Structure 1
Amino acid sequence: MIVRISQFPPMKRLLFGIATTAVVLLAQQTLTMLAHGRLTFLLVSAALPLVTVLFGARSGLLLLASGIGFGALWMPPAGLAVGQPEDRAVLLAYTVVGSFLVAAGQQLAKVAKRAGKAEAAAQDTANRLLRLERDARHRFDVALNSAGVPFFIVTPVVHEGRIAELRWDYLNEAAAQLFNKAAGVVVGSSTSYVRPAGWDADLLLERLSPLAERQGRDTFDVRVQGANGEQWFHVVAASLEGSVVAWFGDVTARVQAEQALAEADRRKDEFLATLAHELRNPLAPIRQVAEILEQPGLTDGRKEWCVTVLRRQSAAMALLLDDLLDVSRITRGALTLRKEAVALKEAIDDAVDTARPMLEGKGHELVVKLPARPIHVEADRLRLAQVLANLLTNAAKYTPPGGRVELTVAADEDEIVISVADNGIGIEPEKLSAIFSMFSQVNPDHHRQGGLGIGLALSKSLIELHGGRLTASSGGKDKGSCFAVHLPANTRVMPPPAPPHAVPAVATSVDAHRILVVDDNVDAADAMTALLQLEGHEVRTVYSGEEAVDILTHYSPQVILLDLGLPGMSGLDVARQIRTTPSTKDVTLIAITGWGQPQDRARSADAGFDFHFTKPVDVRQLGQAIEGAVAAP
C-alpha cells in the first residue's frame, strides 16, 4: 500500500496527506477530550511513517516536533514538562520512538521509491510487449489482407482420440468474402457447418487432418459448383504447431484454359483423321481412273467418263485445300476482302449453283424467298457466296433424303438477314455453342457425312470480316436447324451503273410493266414515256411530286421513275412517303436526276430508292434495272 501511495502524483499525494492529517488531528482531539493525552502519542506515532513516506523526512520531523510540543505545552493539566514523572517518560519514549519511526519512514520511502520504479519499469515493459504484440498482429493482418490471397488457420477438434472436425481460428479478408459473413462470425465455428459455398467439408477434413497430427505440407485442387458455375481453387496447406495454415487461390481460368487446350488437342486429332479420310475419298477414284486409262481399247465414251470423274474429284480436293488455306489466312490476318456493290440475288444464285448437285442428289426441295425489292450490299461476292453455299451444303448433308431447305432474305432498318433453314437432324441445345469452333462436327458420332469440321468456323470468320455475325438455332434433335447471316444495315448500297452498251437496232421482246414517270421537265417526261411505251410498257406520266402522290391513290405501278429536283415536293420527299405507305412500300423506285455525286447517291439510298441513274440515262441500263427489279420475287 505504501509503495502504491508513493507512486501517486504530487497533487494526489498532497490531497491524500491533507486528508490523513485532518483525520489524525480529529482523532487526536477526540482522544484528548475522552481519554488521557498519552493515547495521542500513539496515534501521532502511527502516522509518522506514513507522513514521512508521503512528504519526506522534514515533514516527519515536523510532525514529531509538533507531538513533542503538544505534549510539553498543551496537554493538561499543565503539560508533561511539569507533570508526573511517568508522563515525562511517555514524552521521552515518544521522542525516541518517533525519531526511529521517522528514520524508518525515510528508509521505507527509499525502498518504496525503488520498488515503484521497478514496478513502473515492469508495467512499462508489459505495456511495450503488449504494444509490440498488437503491432505485430496488425502487420500480420495488413500483410495477409493486402496480398488479396485467401488465407486461413484451422485447429483440430479431437474426440475419442481422433480428429472429429476442424475449427476456423483465423481468416483474412479475402477468405472471409467467400463466406458472405463477417470473419468474426466464422472464427470459432466448425468447418462441418460453416464453410465457403460449394466446398466439401469431408475433403477439407480428409486433406488437412494429417497435417494437424504431424509436420508436413500438401497441395491439392478443389472443384466447386457454385452460383457462378464451376470454379477451381488451388490449396497450399502446411502444419503449424498442432494447427494447419493454408492459402488458396482461384485457378478457374487456368483449369479452363487447360481443358480448352485438351479439347483443342482432341479436335486436332479428329481433324487430322478426318482430313486423311476426306483426302482418301477422291484419291481412290482418281487412282482407279488412272488404271482404267491405262487399259487398251478404251471407247470415247469411257474416256469422257474418266475425264469427268477426274475433274469432279480434283475439284473436291481443291475445295478442301481452299478451306484449309482460307482458315490459315484468317488465322494470320492475311485474308482481305474485295468489297464491291453486290446484288444479293446474284450471290445467292452463285451459292445455289454450288450446292445444287448435293441438294438434287439427296432429292431435297429448295425454296428461295427474296424480298420484292432488290438488295445490293457492299461485300465480297465470292466470299459471301462461299458462306451461303456452305450453309446450303450443310443443310443438304444433315437432312434425310427428300427433305426441305429454305433460304430466306429479310431486311429492315437495322440489318439484313439471310437465313437457311432445314427439317433435318437438328442440333442438341448443349452442342449449339460449340458448332462454330474449329474442327467441330454437327453430329460426328451418329450422322457422319464428311467434311473437315472447319466450314462453319470459316463462315463465321468471313461474315465477321464483313462486320456481321453468323447465328444458329435449333428446336433440338430431329427438329431441324436454322443458320442466319446478319449483315448490318449500313452494308446496303446503291447498285453500280451497268457498263454502257449500244441500244440494239431491233428491240428485244420484254414483259410489259406498269410504270409511272415523274419529271417536271415536260419534254424529258414525255420522251421517256414514249420510249417506254414503244417497248410495250403501260406508262403514266405526271409533272410534280404532288401529282405523283395523288395518282398513287388509284394507280398501282410496278416501277416509278422519279426525278429528284422537283419543285415543291422533292423527289426525295415523294420517295419517303411511298416507302411509308403500305400499298406502295415494295414498288421499285428508280431515281432519274442530274445529281450524281456520292453524297447524292447516299441521300437517294436513305430515301428508299433502289437505283440511281444520272441524266442522260443509258436505255440499256434502265431496261436491265426495270427487268431485274420486277423479276425479283
Structure 2
Amino acid sequence: MIVRIAQYSLRKRLVFGVGSTIAILLAQQSLTMFAHGRLTFLLISASLPFITVLFGASSGALLLLTGILFGALWMDPIGQLVVPGHADQIVMLAYTVVGTFLVVAGQQLAKMAQRAGRAEAATRDAAARVLQVERDSRHRFDVALNTAGVPFFIVTPVLRDGHIAELRWDYLNEAAARLFNPAAGVIVGSSTLYVSPAGWDADLLLSRLAPLAERDGRDAFDVRVDKAEGDQWFHVVAASLSGSVVAWFGDVTARVRAEWALEEADRRKDEFLATLAHELRNPLAPIRQVAEILAQPRLTDEGRKWCVTVLRRQSAAMALLLDDLLDVSRITRGALTLRKEVVSLREVVDEAVEIARPILGAKAHELVVKPPPRPLHVEADRLRLAQVLGNLLTNAAKYTPPGGHIELATTAEDAEIVLSVADNGIGIEPDKLSAIFRMFSQVNRDHHREGGLGIGLALSKSLVELHGGRLTASSAGKDRGSCFSIHLPAEIRVVASPAPARDAPAVVSALVRRRILVVDDNVDAADALTALLELERHEVRTVYSGEEAIDILRHYDPEVVLLDLGLPGMSGLDVARRIRTMPATREVTMIAITGWGQPDDRARTAEAGFDFHFTKPVDVAQLNEAIDSAGTAA
C-alpha cells in the first residue's frame, strides 16, 4: 500500500496527505477532550512514517515538532510549554526518541518505496514493450504471409483416446483462405474433416499431416484437385512445429501440364523418328532393288523403262518428303514467305491431282473433280496452294481402302472460297479430330504402313493460315470417311488479266553439245551426273575437289560448270569466286548443285557468281534448260 501511494503524483499525494492530517488532527482533538494529553502522542507517532513517506523527512520532522509542542501544551500545567512532571518528561522524551526513529524509518521506507515503484514501473514498461513487440511481430508475420501470395496454413491435432482423430485449422493466410468455398463460413477452429479447400481430399490431408504432428519431420507431396475446368495440381511442403503442422502449398498445374506436354512431345518425337526411318526406307528399298536389276545383263528395254519410271517416282517421293521437312522448319522460324500471283484455281487443282496421281492410280481409287460453275482466279502462292491440296488428296488416298471414292470439290460463296476433299476411307474418331493438325501427330497409328510423318496436315494448316484462311476436318466416325476443307477468304478472289501472247518455244536440238565440268566430292553422285550428261551427248570432264577444278581449268575451257558447294578444303563458293576472276572462265555458266536450298544459301551462291542454284536431287528437265541457256556451242 505504501509503495503504491508513493507512486502517486504530487497533487494526488498532497490531497491524500492533507486529508490524512486533518483526520489525524480531528482524531487527536477528540482524544484530548476525553483523555489525558499524552495519549495523543500514540496517534501522532503512528502517522509519522506515513507522513514521512508521503512528503519526505522534513514533513515528518515538522509533524514530530508539532507533536512535541502539542503534548507540552496539553500536559500539566495545561496551556504552557513547561513540562515539570517527571513522568510527563519521560513520556515526552520517549515520544521524541521514538518519533525521531519513526521519521528516519519513514525516510528509508520512502526510499525503498521509490525503488520498488521504479522497479514495478520498469516491469510494466518491459511487459508493455514485450507485448508490443509480439503484436508487431504478429503483424509483420501476417503482412509477410499475406503479401507473399503463396497459400500457408497451420493445423493442430485433436486427440481422442490418445490418437489423432482430426486436425484443426489454427491459421490461414489470405491466399489459403481464398481456396475455400465461401459457404464454408468460419474456417479457423474448424476440423479439416469438415472444412477443407474446395475439391481437396480431407482424408489425404489427415493421413499426410497427422504423422508430422506426432513427431518432428518434413514432407512434400502433390495434391490433385478435380474441377469443372479441369484437373488442378498443388505441391504441398509441410513440417512439424511444436506439436502442430505448418505447410506451404503452391499451384503447380502449369508445371505438371508442361511435364505432360514434354512427355507427349518426347513420345511423338520417338514416333516421328521411327516413322521417318520407315518413310526413308520405303523409297530406298525399290531404288536399291532397281539398281540391282539394272545391273542384270539380260535386262530388256521394257524392263529398263520400268526401272527408270520407278527411280523417278521414288526419288520424287523422297524429294517431297524433304521439302515438307524444310517447309516445316521455315514456318516455325518464320522464314517462309509466299510468292503470290494471280492464279486459276483450276490450275491449282490440276497440279494437286498430278501430285497425288501415282498413289491414286496405285490403289485404283475413283477420283471425282467438281469444278466451280465459273472460272475462279485468286491471288495466292500457286505452288504452296497446290502443295496443300496435293497433301489432302494424298492423305485421302493413303487412308482409303483400294478402289475407294474420293471427291474434290470447289465452291465459291460470298464470305469464302472452299476447296474440299472427301473420301469414304477409314474416317477419324470424334475425340481425335482436334489432334490431327498437331506436328508429328498420327491419330491412326495402326496405319503407319500407309506412310506419313505426321507433318503434312500441320504444314498444310500453316500454309493455309499464311493465306489468311483456315483448314478444317470433319468425319462421321471410324470407317465412315472424312472430309478436309480449305477455307480461303473471299477477298483474295480477283479478276484475271488477259494472258499476254507468247512466242512458240524454241526447239533445242538434241544434238547441241556443251563442254561441261562436273565438280563433286561424292564420287557416285559426280559419276552418275556425268553418265547422264554424256547420254545427252555433252562433252564432260569430272573432278572431285575444288583444287582439282581450278587446276583443270588451266587447260580445259568449259561452257558450263556444275559445282557442288560442300567440297572439302576449298568450298564450292570459293571455287566459284576464283572462276569469276580468271579471264578465260569469267563468262562461263555456273550451276550450283547442292543439298542446301534455304534463301540465305541462294543469296550466297548469287553473290559468289553462280547463274543457277539447284538442290539435290536435281530435276533433269530444269537442269537441261539451264545448260541449254549457256553460250554458243563449239
Alignment TM-score, normalising by the size of structure 1:
0.67
**Quick check: 2:471–2:484 contact (8 Å CA) kept in 1?**
yes
Equivalence for 1:265? 266
Residues in 2 aligned to 1:77 and 1:418: alpha-carbon distance in whole angstroms? 144
**Quick check: 1:81–1:88 contact (8 Å CA) kept in 2?**
no
Helix, strand or coil at the partner of 2:438:
coil
Residue type at the aligned position of 2:457:
L
Residues in 2 aligned to 1:364 and 1:35: alpha-carbon distance in whole angstroms? 147
Structure 1 residue 474: deviation in Å? 4.3
Kindly, what percent of the aligned residue pairs are identical? 75
Equivalence for 2:51? 51
Helix, strand or coil at the partner of 1:470:
strand
Equivalence for 1:407? 409
Residues in 1 aligned to 2:345 and 2:189: alpha-carbon distance in whole angstroms? 71
Structure 1 residue 206: deviation in Å? 3.4
Equivalence for 2:318? 317
Helix, strand or coil at the partner of 2:428:
coil
Equivalence for 1:366? 368
**Quick check: 1:13–1:54 contact (8 Å CA) kept in 2?**
yes
Equivalence for 2:591? none
Helix, strand or coil at the partner of 1:237:
strand
Structure 1 residue 151: deviation in Å? 3.2
- What is the RMSD of the two structures over their aligned residues, measured on CA atoms? 4.0
Residue type at the aligned position of 2:276:
L
Equivalences for 1:286-297 in 2 at 5 Å?
A: 286-297=287-298
Helix, strand or coil at the partner of 1:219:
strand
Equivalence for 2:2? 2
Residues in 2 aligned to 1:28 and 1:122: alpha-carbon distance in whole angstroms? 41
- With over 3 angstroms needed to count, the CA separation of the structure-2 counterparts of 1:8 and 1:290, relative to structure 1, is same
**Quick check: 2:474–2:482 contact (8 Å CA) kept in 1?**
yes
Structure 1 residue 383: deviation in Å? 0.6
Structure 1 residue 15: deviation in Å? 3.6
Equivalence for 2:599? none
Residues in 1 aligned to 2:10 and 2:497: alpha-carbon distance in whole angstroms? 108
Residue type at the aligned position of 2:59:
S
For these two proteins, the number of residue pairs brought into alignment is 500
- With over 3 angstroms needed to count, the CA separation of the structure-2 counterparts of 1:38 and 1:322, relative to structure 1, is same
Helix, strand or coil at the partner of 1:165:
strand
- With over 3 angstroms needed to count, the CA separation of the structure-2 counterparts of 1:378 and 1:55, relative to structure 1, is farther
Equivalence for 1:225? 226
**Quick check: 2:470–2:487 contact (8 Å CA) kept in 1?**
yes
Equivalence for 1:611? none
Residue type at the aligned position of 2:500:
P
- With over 3 angstroms needed to count, the CA separation of the structure-2 counterparts of 1:28 and 1:485, relative to structure 1, is farther
Structure 1 residue 324: deviation in Å? 2.0
- With over 3 angstroms needed to count, the CA separation of the structure-2 counterparts of 1:106 and 1:386, relative to structure 1, is same
**Quick check: 2:410–2:417 contact (8 Å CA) kept in 1?**
no
Matched, 1:327 2:328: yes
Equivalence for 1:565? none
**Quick check: 1:152–1:172 contact (8 Å CA) kept in 2?**
yes
Residues in 1 aligned to 2:366 and 2:95: alpha-carbon distance in whole angstroms? 137
Equivalence for 1:199? 200
Residues in 2 aligned to 1:463 and 1:122: alpha-carbon distance in whole angstroms? 83
Residues in 1 aligned to 2:37 and 2:421: alpha-carbon distance in whole angstroms? 128
Equivalence for 1:386? 387
Q: Any unmatched runs of 5+ in structure 2?
A: 504-634
Residues in 1 aligned to 2:409 and 2:89: alpha-carbon distance in whole angstroms? 139
Structure 1 residue 403: deviation in Å? 4.2
Helix, strand or coil at the partner of 1:229:
coil
**Quick check: 2:377–2:496 contact (8 Å CA) kept in 1?**
yes
What does the per-residue CA deviation read over 1:517-573, in whole Å, with 9 as the maximum and x for residues that have no partner?
Answer: xxxxxxxxxxxxxxxxxxxxxxxxxxxxxxxxxxxxxxxxxxxxxxxxxxxxxxxxx
Equivalences for 1:146-165 in 2 at 5 Å?
A: 146-165=147-166
Equivalences for 1:84-163 in 2 at 5 Å?
A: 97-163=98-164
Residue type at the aligned position of 1:350:
E
- With over 3 angstroms needed to count, the CA separation of the structure-2 counterparts of 1:475 and 1:31, relative to structure 1, is farther
Equivalences for 1:233-632 in 2 at 5 Å?
A: 233-356=234-357, 358=359, 361=363, 363-364=365-366, 366=368, 368=370, 370=372, 375-399=376-400, 402-403=404-405, 405=407, 407-412=409-414, 416-422=417-423, 424-445=425-446, 449-478=450-479, 480-488=481-489, 490-500=491-501
Residues in 1 aligned to 2:331 and 2:38: alpha-carbon distance in whole angstroms? 121
Residues in 1 aligned to 2:30 and 2:418: alpha-carbon distance in whole angstroms? 117
- With over 3 angstroms needed to count, the CA separation of the structure-2 counterparts of 1:459 and 1:38, relative to structure 1, is farther
- With over 3 angstroms needed to count, the CA separation of the structure-2 counterparts of 1:37 and 1:248, relative to structure 1, is same
Residues in 2 aligned to 1:140 and 1:459: alpha-carbon distance in whole angstroms? 57
Residue type at the aligned position of 2:278:
H
Residue type at the aligned position of 2:428:
I
Residues in 2 aligned to 1:341 and 1:482: alpha-carbon distance in whole angstroms? 27
Residue type at the aligned position of 1:50:
F
What does the per-residue CA deviation read over 1:88-131, in whole Å, with 9 as the maximum and x for residues that have no partner?
Answer: 98777666554443333222211100111111222222223333
Residue type at the aligned position of 1:250:
D
Residues in 1 aligned to 2:152 and 2:274: alpha-carbon distance in whole angstroms? 48
- With over 3 angstroms needed to count, the CA separation of the structure-2 counterparts of 1:69 and 1:458, relative to structure 1, is same
Equivalence for 1:14? 14
Helix, strand or coil at the partner of 2:179:
helix
**Quick check: 1:326–1:458 contact (8 Å CA) kept in 2?**
yes
**Quick check: 2:38–2:74 contact (8 Å CA) kept in 1?**
no
Residues in 2 aligned to 1:405 and 1:32: alpha-carbon distance in whole angstroms? 139
Residues in 1 aligned to 2:435 and 2:150: alpha-carbon distance in whole angstroms? 34
Residue type at the aligned position of 1:152:
F
Structure 1 residue 274: deviation in Å? 1.7
- With over 3 angstroms needed to count, the CA separation of the structure-2 counterparts of 1:309 and 1:404, relative to structure 1, is closer
Residue type at the aligned position of 2:313:
R
What does the per-residue CA deviation read over 1:209-260, in whole Å, with 9 as the maximum and x for residues that have no partner?
Answer: 4434444333333333334422333333333343333333333222222221
What does the per-residue CA deviation read over 1:463-513, in whole Å, with 9 as the maximum and x for residues that have no partner?
Answer: 2333443343445445554434344555444534522469xxxxxxxxxxx
Q: Any unmatched runs of 5+ in structure 1?
A: 503-633
**Quick check: 2:365–2:406 contact (8 Å CA) kept in 1?**
no
Residues in 1 aligned to 2:31 and 2:491: alpha-carbon distance in whole angstroms? 117
**Quick check: 1:71–1:91 contact (8 Å CA) kept in 2?**
yes
What does the per-residue CA deviation read over 1:305-331, in whole Å, with 9 as the maximum and x for residues that have no partner?
Answer: 343333333332332222222223333
Structure 1 residue 198: deviation in Å? 3.0
Residues in 2 aligned to 1:312 and 1:494: alpha-carbon distance in whole angstroms? 37
Residue type at the aligned position of 1:49:
P
Structure 1 residue 4: deviation in Å? 1.5
Equivalence for 1:186? 187
Residues in 2 aligned to 1:377 and 1:38: alpha-carbon distance in whole angstroms? 136
**Quick check: 2:417–2:490 contact (8 Å CA) kept in 1?**
yes
Moved more, 327-336 or 452-461: 327-336
Residue type at the aligned position of 2:321:
L
Residues in 1 aligned to 2:36 and 2:253: alpha-carbon distance in whole angstroms? 97
Residues in 1 aligned to 2:408 and 2:36: alpha-carbon distance in whole angstroms? 134
What does the per-residue CA deviation read over 1:394-416, in whole Å, with 9 as the maximum and x for residues that have no partner?
Answer: 33444555445453434445x55
- With over 3 angstroms needed to count, the CA separation of the structure-2 counterparts of 1:404 and 1:463, relative to structure 1, is closer
**Quick check: 2:348–2:386 contact (8 Å CA) kept in 1?**
yes
Residues in 2 aligned to 1:368 and 1:126: alpha-carbon distance in whole angstroms? 95
**Quick check: 2:275–2:452 contact (8 Å CA) kept in 1?**
yes
